[in-house]
A = this chain, B = another copy of it.
Amino acid sequence: MPKETFINLDPQKQARFLEVALAEFATNDFQAASITRIVRELGIAKGSVYQYFEDKLDLWLYLKNHCEQVKRAYIEAVHREAYADFWSYYQAVYANGVHFDLENPRCSQFLFRVGFKESSPQVQPYLNSWKEQAQSIFVQWIEQEQVAGTFRRDLPASIIAHFMVTMSLSVASLMHENYGVDFERNLTEGKPLFGADAEALQHAVKNLVQLLRAALKPQ
């Protein structure tokens, strides 16, 4: 939890602090991320950081919580009832996830790191939470589809959920490998992660959905 000093801070300064801190933690491990670099970039004294947060871990937890909230808002804006079948719903959720990426590239990259790249022992206890959340949401969806008879029932929902989550998250690297999208460059140039390649993305997702459909329909 941030200290009151940070909460009471001028919103503009608060936003700038968040921006710079997020950039640092999006580009580096917990261990490798440097408070010194953050304050140098911000042009403030190092002591200030410790007026705002207890320590490095406290700051990291705040950033994680913040980004998760932002992302959740995007996802929860899509409602299953509004879609005729699961796959159109899935694509809508995915599209909103991409909007999140486009509009909050640093958040997106940070969460990606937390979910997949991070291995610093100091944050180990806090790593799996959101992955488990995503997994359990998928399990609920899948069980409903299995009952409705649109998904195969010969495999446990938890297994199917694992593969769906994995594939969904892999689209980013597919974009990178097969469509030549350069996330790093887009980031350093301040562009959104997917840059002007929204079309390539749609194409990739379409192909992915075709594969998942075939894999998951009743055999």
Query: Could you tell me which A residues sit within 8 Å of B by CB distance?
Result: 28-29, 31-32, 113, 116-120, 131-132, 135, 152, 154-156, 158-160, 162-163, 166-167, 170, 173-174, 177-178, 204, 207-208, 210-212, 214-217, 219
Q: Tell me which of A113, A117, A119, A155 has the highest count of chain B C-beta atoms within 10 A of its own C-beta.
A: A119
In the bound assembly, the distance between CA atoms of A113 and B159 in angstroms comes to: 24
A116-B117, A119-B113 known; A160 and B211 CB under 8 Å?
yes
C-alpha gap A207/B170 in the complex (Å): 19
A sample of 24 inter-chain contacts (CB < 8 A) reads A29-B29, A29-B32, A31-B31, A32-B120, A113-B119, A116-B116, A116-B117, A117-B118, A131-B177, A135-B177, A152-B214, A155-B210, A159-B204, A159-B207, A159-B211, A160-B211, A162-B173, A163-B174, A163-B208, A166-B173, A166-B174, A212-B215, A214-B214, A214-B217
Instruction: Give Cα distance in the complex from A132 to B177, angstroms.
Output: 8
Pick from B32, B117, B135: contact of A31, CB under 8 Å? B32
The 5 closest A-B pairs by CB, nearest first: A215-B215, A166-B170, A211-B215, A214-B215, A159-B207
Contact status B162-A170, CB under 8 Å? yes
Q: Which residues of B contact A170 (CB under 8 A)?
A: 162-163, 166
* Minimal beta-carbon separation of A150 from chain B (angstroms): 14
Could you say which residues of chain B place their CB within 8 Å of the CB of A131? Answer: 177
Task: Name the residue on B nearest A29 (C-beta).
Answer: B29
Chain B residues with CB under 8 Å of A155's CB are 207, 210-211
A126 to chain B, nearest CB (A): 15
Q: Which residues of B contact A29 (CB under 8 A)?
A: 29, 31-32, 119
A94 to B117, CA, bound (A): 24
CA separation between A214 and B151, bound complex, in Å? 12
Q: In the complex, how many angstroms separate the beta carbon of A206 from the nearest chain B beta carbon?
A: 10
Q: Bound state CA distance, A135 and B174, in angstroms?
A: 11
Inter-subunit contact B174/A162 (CB<8 Å): yes
Q: How far is the CA of A120 from the CA of B120 in the complex (A)?
A: 13
In chain B, what residue has the closest Cβ to A158? B178
